[in-house]
Structure 1
Amino acid sequence: MVHSVKLMSQKKVSSEAQANEFARVDSEFQTEKTLKMEDAQILESCIQDLEDGLESLSMSLIKYRVSILNILGH
């Protein structure tokens, strides 16, 4: 009887340890997933900033081209 109580106690500890390990791994996965989502949002923001900068540069180049053509045309 003593052996069966010890065995059941060991199984209970083992099950709790597995549950704790599962919870720890799940928590790390969720944290990693959140970090990756934040990284994706930061990357998206950087890409948007680059697009805005390129659009501004393109408009400036068009204005300079027009100015140069106007100067050469007079």
Structure 2
Amino acid sequence: MIKVLLFAGMQERAGKSEIQLDEPHLLVSEIKRKLENEYDFPQMFTGCLAAVNEEFAEDDTEIRSGDVVAFIPPVSGG
């Protein structure tokens, strides 16, 4: 199982901060596509960073069962 952590707008839109994916392995890009389709995340991954097991990752990074993926939205300040 792959654990996906959501923050900010993604968390609000999905109605939860954590999602479990029952897959043996996926790419970061495949997880993004799954979440866009299931939770209707319009353009929410634009500017968003992905981290796998607390290390920044690219779209072609492979995630395996037991890994934790976090999508970190861009930070705005004022």
Structure number with higher helix proportion: 1
Q: TM-score, normalised by structure 1?
A: 0.18
- Bigger RCO (CA 8 Å, 6+ sep): 2
Q: TM-score, normalised by structure 2?
A: 0.17
Structure number with higher strand proportion: 2
